[in-house]
Amino acid sequence: MTTIQDVARHAAVSVSTVSNVLNGRTDRMRAETLARVEASIQALQFRPSKLAQQLKTGQTPLLGLLVPSMANPMYGYIAREIESVAQERFGFRLLIGSTYRDREKESAFFEDLLAHGVRRVIVISSLADERHFESAVERGMAVVSYDRGATPGKPSKVGHVMPDNFEAARLATQHLIDKDHRRLAFATVAGMTMSRSAKIDGFFAAAEAAGLRASAQVLDGGALNEYGDSVIAEVGRATALQIAGLPEHPTGIVALNDLMALGLMAGLREAGLGVPEDVSVVGIDGLFLATLSNPMLTTVQLPVREMARAMVERVMQHPGEASEDEREQVFTGVQLIERESVAPPPAASQPRIARRTKPEKAAP
């Protein structure tokens, strides 16, 4: 490995001169010297060791990213967006880790990041409390958390970025109501998180406004196993069976997210229920996969790129630069994308204008 010393020797200058050109302080030397140093750097294929730089400056161009599971396409999608912003705008690389929504694993990851000198972290977690990262913040880390708000009352140094989950679920539910569905359900998994409860609130708000509160219910398909998120679709499948068994089963289902919706559709089909003839389903997320299902999934698109950009910018700014009220950023740009998984319920007494839902193109 070639070092700054080698370059200095090769260019017949001192290490500090080389360091100066490395750090753009080129005004402090003759053009001729600069040229010579640059030539030597080229000739020797010299790359300054970030390790040594970090040790000295305390800064490492690495962004920590903590996701529940890399195998979940939604997180893959978010991660990719985060990566490109971090790389293109700040020259940072990603140090990633799956946590399977486990507190121990999250803490361990934070410890490692700290030890690696990483000072900025984006966390996608739904864990109830975030004390473990509050403490990281205290130790000098900039952290922003996705999809969960600050704990009310407790002022936090952790930044929060999230979609308008309430509105997303409300929109989805309203769409079902507009199609004359009267028996509504929200399909979720075991365990309550902030984003899940916001969605449930949105669901009930829409139902309430339409006077359908009494026939609206929340269905819990069960817990995620060790494998974390890729099995969420399996929970959807289980929920479908549950639905099929209900005496007067709901006809309009809002799913926690697209993966769950996809599982739901598969399960409904297995149970002999047609989508959308018997049951309508709408997802939340806007994954490109929703475009591939049969029927194509009607869903609420979340502004993933915008959120990714916001998270990166937020975590990159100098600590303490954000004012208190900026600590929580809610992205309202959610929109319904009508595809094929929603239709009026089978026995709809007064069918509306049969607006044919046209398939539409691509997504992410």
Per-residue three-class SS string for 45-110: CCCCCHHHHHHHHCCCCEEEEEECCCCCHHHHHHHHHHHHHHHHHHCCEEEEEECCCCHHHHHHHH
Evaluate whether 163 touches 188 at the Cβ level (below 8 Å).
no
Q: Which is nearer to DNA, 14 or 294 (CB)?
A: 14
Q: Which stretch binds DNA (CB under 7 A): 25-33, 138-146, 170-178, 294-302?
A: 25-33
Give the integer Cα–Cα distance in Å for 51 and 74: 33
Nearest CA to 204 out of 155, 166, 242 is that of 166
Other Cβ atoms less than 10 A from the Cβ of 352: the count is 10
Give the integer Cα–Cα distance in Å for 215 and 177: 12
Q: Is 330 helix (H, G, I), strand (E, B) or coil?
A: strand
332 binds, among DNA, a second copy, none (CB under 5 to 8 A by kind): none
Q: Which is nearer to DNA, 12 or 128 (CB)?
A: 12
Helix (H) or strand (E) holding 155, with range, is none
Give the integer Cα–Cα distance in Å for 312 and 12: 42
Helices (H) then strands (E): counts for the chain: 12, 12
Residue 283 half-sphere exposure toward CB, CA atoms < 13 A: 31
Among 44, 48, 61, 244, binds DNA (CB under 7 A): 48
Q: Which is nearer to DNA, 49 or 294 (CB)?
A: 49
Footprint on residues 276-295 left by a second copy (CB under 8 A):
288-289, 291-295
Among 35, 39, 43, 49, binds DNA (CB under 7 A): 49
Helix (H) or strand (E) holding 2, with range, is none
Count of residues near a second copy by CB under 8 A: 61
Q: Which stretch binds DNA (CB under 7 A): 18-26, 92-100, 171-179, 287-295?
A: 18-26
Among 14, 49, 197, 332, binds a second copy (CB under 8 A): 49
Does residue 106 belong to the site contacting a second copy (CB under 8 A)? no
Give me the DSSP letters along 275-296: TTTT-EEEEEE--GGGGTSSSP
266 binds, among a second copy, DNA, none (CB under 5 to 8 A by kind): a second copy
Q: Which stretch binds a second copy (CB under 8 A): 46-54, 153-161, 168-176, 347-355?
A: 46-54
Q: Which is nearer to DNA, 6 or 220 (CB)?
A: 6
The CB-of-202 to a second copy minimum distance in angstroms stands at 25
Q: Which stretch binds DNA (CB under 7 A): 51-59, 243-251, 264-272, 285-293?
A: 51-59
Count of residues near DNA by CB under 7 A: 30
- Describe the chain by its helix, strand, coil percentages, rounded to 5: 45, 15, 40
Q: Is 124 helix (H, G, I), strand (E, B) or coil?
A: strand
Does residue 97 belong to the site contacting a second copy (CB under 8 A)? yes
Footprint on residues 287-346 left by a second copy (CB under 8 A):
288-289, 291-296
Residues that bind a second copy (CB under 8 A): 1, 47-52, 54-55, 60, 62, 69-73, 75-77, 79-80, 83-84, 87, 93-98, 109, 111-112, 114-117, 139-140, 227, 230-231, 233-234, 262-263, 265-266, 269-270, 288-289, 291-296, 359, 362, 364
Residues that bind DNA (CB under 7 A): 1, 3-5, 12-17, 19-20, 22-23, 27-30, 32-33, 46-49, 51-53, 55-57
